[in-house]
């Protein structure tokens, strides 16, 4: 008589085998290289300090017709492109900022072109990683595949985080508005506003530095000089408003919010 015993070692083998299964993904490229994307509608430019990249995001006319980033009605045919580009760095490896406090593209680098397209019935092949009717591919500047459809489950799996409410598009709410509205600059924040608080409340910078504020609160705020007749910013929109201030000379800048006068903080510029 043989006794089949399910040993812990067998259980482990079974687990390993189950994990080794590759998640499903489309096998054919239905996204297509986005010819002429740099001339499309600019949605946002995000400086990514963690991986030292500039991410420039464009939308074709259909995707750009969705002006509210929380709307889930991107029409079929919508294409969103994110061009990722390494930032120019100094000898210490830190991004070199331009006159506006923004990262600059490294002219020696080549971009990668992340592309998502929505189509009727798209996305089914992703199975549990499906994000609505989007499919994903990334391309090199030479228009070859960087992430082929078969590997694009990684894209879908991560974009799940953006959620159905945004139709799995992460940052459409960062849309750059025409007319010089300084919201949504995508610059790296040196200070944020959260829960009616400027963070940090006491910031010390070197004279010559630029400080970018990011309004991460659910209501609008301003930055207003405490000095009588002092300068005041326009309202920074909830969630997306940004503001960059320069501190060319040493000194103290005490400021408050004109809407909530008890919000107070200070920036000290040292030589
Ligand atoms: Cu306020």
Q: DSSP letters along 238-254, please? A: TTT-EEEEEE-SSEEEE
Between CA 229 and CA 176, with CA 241 as vertex, the angle to 5 degrees is 120
Q: How far is the CA of 251 from the centre of ligand 1 (A)?
A: 24
**Separation of CA 233 and ligand 1 centre (Å):** 11
Report how far ligand 1's centroid is from the alpha carbon of 220 (Å): 6
Identify the bridge partners of residue 210 per DSSP, sorted by sequence position.
246
For 147-178, what is each residue's pLDDT tens digit?
999 999 999 999 999 999 999 999 887 787 76
**Cα distances (angstroms) measured from residue 242 to each of 64, 151, 259, 268:** 22, 36, 16, 20
269: three-class secondary structure by DSSP: strand
Residue ranges covered by each domain of the chain: 37-174, 191-270
Question: Element (H or E) spanning 159, and its range?
Answer: helix 153-159
What pTM does this model have? Answer: 0.84
Q: What's the CA-to-centroid distance between 69 and ligand 1, angstroms?
A: 23
Rg, Å, the chain Cα set:
23
pLDDT of residue 239: 81
Three-state SS at 140: strand
Distance 118 CA to ligand 1 centre (A): 39
Task: State in Å: Cα 116 to ligand 1 middle.
Answer: 37
Please give the distance, rounded to the nearest whole angstrom, from the Cα atom of residue 59 to the centre of ligand 1.
Answer: 33
Residue 29 neighbours by CB under 8 Å, 6+ apart: 137, 145, 148, 149
Give the integer Cα–Cα distance in Å for 210 and 197: 20
CA of 13 to the centre of ligand 1 (A): 58
Q: Give all strands (DSSP E) within the chain, no chain letters.
A: 41-48, 53-59, 79-86, 112-118, 134-140, 145-147, 191-194, 197-199, 202-206, 209-215, 224-225, 242-247, 251-256, 264-270
Q: Answer for the pair 153, 33: CB distance below 8 angstroms, yes or no.
A: no
**What is the rounded distance in angstroms from the CA atom of residue 56 to the CA atom of residue 173?**
14
The Cβ-side half-sphere exposure at 101, using a 13 Å CA radius, reads 18
* CA–CA separation, 133 and 179 (whole Å): 33
Which architecture, in CATH terms, is 191-270? Sandwich (2.60)
How far, in Å, are 74, 87, 129, 193 from residue 64 at the CA level? 9, 26, 25, 29
pLDDT at 269: 95
Write the CB contacts of 235 (distance below 8 Å, at least 6 apart in sequence): 220, 221, 222, 241, 259
- Residue 44's beta-bridge partner residues? 57
| pLDDT < 70 positions in the chain | 1-20, 69, 178-184
CA of 208 to the centre of ligand 1 (A): 26
CATH architecture assignment, domain 37-174: 3-Layer(bba) Sandwich (3.50)
Evaluate the omega torsion of the peptide bond into residue 200 and state whether it is cis, within 30 degrees of 0: yes
Read off the tokens for 256: 């408050």
Cα 263 to ligand 1 centre (Å): 6
User: What distance in angstroms lies between residue 160's CA and the mean position of ligand 1's atoms?
Assistant: 33
């Amino acid at each position: 008589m043989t006794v089949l015993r399910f040993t812990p070692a067998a259980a482990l083998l079974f687990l390993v085998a189950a994990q080794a299964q590759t998640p499903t993904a489309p096998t054919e490229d239905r996204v297509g290289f986005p010819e002429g994307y740099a001339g499309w509608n600019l949605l946002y430019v995000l400086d990514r300090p963690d991986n030292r990249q500039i991410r420039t995001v464009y939308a074709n006319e259909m995707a750009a017709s969705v002006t509210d980033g929380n709307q889930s009605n991107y029409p079929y045919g919508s294409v969103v492109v994110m061009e990722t580009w390494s930032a120019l760095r100094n000898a210490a490896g830190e991004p070199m900022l331009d006159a506006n406090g923004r990262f600059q593209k490294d002219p020696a680098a080549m971009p990668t072109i992340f592309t998502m397209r929505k189509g009727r019935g798209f996305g089914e092949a992703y199975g549990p990683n499906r994000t609505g009717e989007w499919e994903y591919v990334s391309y090199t500047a030479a228009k070859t595949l960087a992430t082929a459809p078969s590997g694009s489950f990684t894209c879908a799996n991560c974009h799940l985080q953006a959620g159905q409410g945004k139709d799995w598009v992460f940052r459409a709410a960062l849309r750059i508005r025409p007319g010089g509205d300084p919201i949504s600059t995508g610059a790296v924040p040196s200070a944020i506003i959260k829960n009616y608080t400027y963070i940090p409340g006491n910031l010390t910078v070197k004279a010559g530095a630029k400080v970018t504020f990011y309004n991460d609160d659910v209501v609008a705020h301003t930055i207003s000089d405490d000095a009588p007749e002092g300068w005041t910013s326009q309202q920074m929109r909830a969630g997306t408003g940004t503001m960059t201030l320069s501190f060319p000379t040493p000194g103290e800048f005490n400021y408050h919010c004109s809407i909530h006068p008890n919000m107070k903080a200070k920036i000290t510029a040292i030589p």
